[in-house]
Amino acid sequence: MLHLLKQRNSSDGGLSAFRLTAGFLHRELPVRIGQTVIGLKENPSPYDIRQVPQFKALMDNYTDDLSLLADRTPAPSTPATTEQFVDTLRRLKSRSKANMRLLAQGLRELSWAINSQDTRIVPSFLRPNTVRQRAQTCGGPHYYSSTLAYPDLSAPMAYLAPSGKMEMTDPAQWTQGSVQPDGEAKYQSFGAVPSVPQQWAPNKVCSEFCDEASCRNPRLWINDGTQQCAENQTRRFFDWLYSMNLGTQLLIEDHVAILDYGHNLVQIIQPLDIATRAAHDASQICERHYGFPAPVVKIIAPKSGVTTTYVPHHLYSMLFQLVKNALRATVEHHKNRRSAFPVIKLVMSSGDEDVSFKVSDEGGGIPLSQVDAIWSYLETTKGPADASEPLPSTIEKRNALSSITFMQRAIDLPLFGEGDGLPMVRQIARYFGGDLDLVSMEGVGTDAYLHLSRSRNAMEPGLNLHTLL
């Protein structure tokens, strides 16, 4: 990248130097976009997201992006083909905003469909009548052993089939079958439940496969373990989808930013400056929404001159979201007040490995049973996507660099129902080698811990789709 920056002022605008990396992009981007198309088509989630119009449109967009790269853009081997490839990257960059908007709208529509029990999208074994029937007929959700949790065979469950694929099925519909000479249990549909969990014994079931604390802790189940497993599998899929999109978008935007603006996205920044800007903008949104002064955000930074390497607009969006959530929780919890709200603390610290932020509020906290829902893409404070809601234009001005325009437009967002949301904030942090954790005390408040890795050699997280299918 440094070489590209140095060559940008050459007679051809750096295209000759860019040809060295353009070949890599020409090979890599179709693979990433193709994986995204396969993921949407295969749909590891138990919910049929292909019935959601926004996800259909999203898959069509990505299919067209793949065709644009693979079929209509030649390899960048000459100045003319390199310029054509750069134009393709610019088009993909402008399209990515529309795709992310479609994804956000699709999640809202999916959440609404699940809450309304849309039979096209929600499988029968995840609908309330089935859950209530299981609750009335089941003595307990699982049989436990030292290493695996064997499910009650009257409940549908997620398991890893011998083929290696994740399956969600309803063993309550099986009949008692005989054990074949090869030792494999055979069952027929629509009959009594097998008395021995033969089918499950050789397989990892949800409690181990999902690697989720909520699956292993029955106290955290919401009425039914199968619903929690479905939610976890759906979250894992959208974690993967967002990470894949983030990596693809960074590759495209970084190269376009170098050629068009003379700098790359990853920069040496002062995190305190960005935190101050994010807190100020979030406070203005809160004040505009409620019509009275927002709670005070006190910024504490023992080492105010700390620098690190990061993408500025991603750090801004993460802190903006955390402070915005803290402001809303504080005002809602102390709704009888119009002033003298508890102070929200934004603390920044720096160590050898991490730059960390803590956002502390006294907004009432979150019950333990609801903590897992914080990370759900299906929990939303806004209704289903309106068909008349305009999508962003697929053609935008080239000088609208995302890091600048996001920070300029964020102040125009509503207090809730828009923005990245906590699941996406955590995925951004993890993508760059950090993390986001929440510790909450019901009746008091919540502390959010955002960790940024200072390592310049952080590897991209594994994005293997086959771990989900």
Identity of the highest mean pLDDT range in 213-227, 248-262, 396-410: 248-262
Residue 31 above 60 pLDDT? yes
CA distances from 461 to 21, 247, 423 (A): 21, 10, 16
Distance, CA of 303 to CA of 348 (rounded, Å): 8
Q: Is 27 exposed, middle or buried (0-12, 13-18, 19+ CB in 10 A)?
A: exposed
Asked if 355 and 301 count as a contact pair (C-beta separation under 8 A), the reply is: no
- Average pLDDT over the chain reads 75
Least confident residue range of 87-101, 104-118, 206-220, 392-406: 392-406
pLDDT of residue 17: 67
pLDDT of residue 209: 41
> Residues near 36 by Cβ (< 8 Å), separated by ≥ 6?
62, 241, 244, 245, 248
Least confident residue range of 144-158, 366-380, 433-447: 144-158
Q: Residue 467, CB half-sphere, CA atoms under 13 Å: how many?
A: 12
pTM comes to 0.74
pLDDT of residue 272: 96
CA dihedral sign of residues 339, 420, 217, 168: positive
Take residue 292 and report the two structure tokens written for it: 């009275």
pLDDT of residue 60: 95
**Which has the closest alpha carbon to 443: 329, 340, 341, 338?**
329
For β-strands 344-350 and 297-300, DSSP reports them as parallel
Residue 333 above 80 pLDDT? yes
DSSP string, 270-285: -HHHHHHHHHHHHHHH
Take residue 42 and report the two structure tokens written for it: 């295969």
Asked if 166 and 467 count as a contact pair (C-beta separation under 8 A), the reply is: no
Helix ranges (DSSP H) in 187-305: 206-209, 213-216, 225-261, 271-290
